[in-house]
Amino acid sequence: MRIAVDGMGGDNAPAEIVKGCVQAAALIKDDIYLVGKSGLLEKELKKYKFNREQIHIVHAPDVIENEDAPVRAVRTKKESSMVVGLNMVKSGEADLFISAGNTGALMAGSLFILGRIQGIDRPAIAATYPILGKGVSLLVDSGANAECKPNNLLEFATMGSIYMEKVLGIKNPKVGLVNIGAEESKGTTVLKAAYELLSKSNLNFRGNLEARNVPKGNADVIVCDGFTGNVILKLTEGLAWNILKLIKGKFTAGFIPKMGAALLAGKLKELKNEFDYSEYGGAPILGVKGAVVKMHGSSMANGVKNTILKGIPFAENNVVQIIQNSVLELEEIVISE
What burial class does residue 229 get, using C-beta atoms within 10 Å of its C-beta: 0-12 exposed, 13-18 middle, 19+ buried?
Answer: buried
Q: Out of 215, 302, 322, 324, which residue is the one contacting its own copies (CB under 8 A)?
A: 215
Q: How far is the CB of 65 from its own copies (least distance, A)?
A: 15
Q: Quote the least distance from Cβ 183 to its own copies, whole Å.
A: 11
Compute how many other C-beta atoms are within 10 angstroms of the C-beta atom of residue 331.
11
**Using rule CB under 8 A, residue 71 touches its own copies:** no
Contact call for residue 92 and its own copies (CB under 8 A): no
**99 strand-pairing partners:** 294
133 interacts with its own copies by CB under 8 A: yes
Does 184 contact its own copies by CB under 8 A?
no
Angle, CA of 237, 25 and 21, to the nearest 5°:
45
Residue 18 neighbours by CB distance under 10 Å: 29
Q: Is 276 in the site for its own copies (CB under 8 A)?
A: no
Residue 321, judged by CB atoms within 10 A of its CB (0-12, 13-18, 19+), counts as exposed
* Sheet order of strands, 2-6 included: 55-59, 31-36, 2-6, 96-99, 292-294, 283-286, 124-125
Contact 152, 122 (CB under 8 A): yes
239: contact with its own copies by CB under 8 A: yes
Q: How far is the CB of 287 from its own copies (least distance, A)?
A: 19
Whole-angstrom distance, CA of residue 133 vs CA of residue 113 = 39
Tell whether residue 125 is a contact of its own copies (CB under 8 A): no
Indicate which single residue of 271, 309, 322, 334 sits in contact with its own copies (rule: CB under 8 A).
Answer: 271
Q: x/- site string to its own copies, residues 216 to 235, per CB under 8 A?
A: x---------xxx-xxxxxx
- Considering only residues 10 to 69 of the shown chain, the ones binding its own copies according to CB under 8 A are none
Q: Which residues of the shown chain bind its own copies in the complex (CB under 8 A)? A: 132-133, 143, 146-147, 178, 180, 187-188, 210-216, 226-228, 230-243, 245-247, 249-251, 253, 256-257, 259-264, 266-267, 270-271, 274
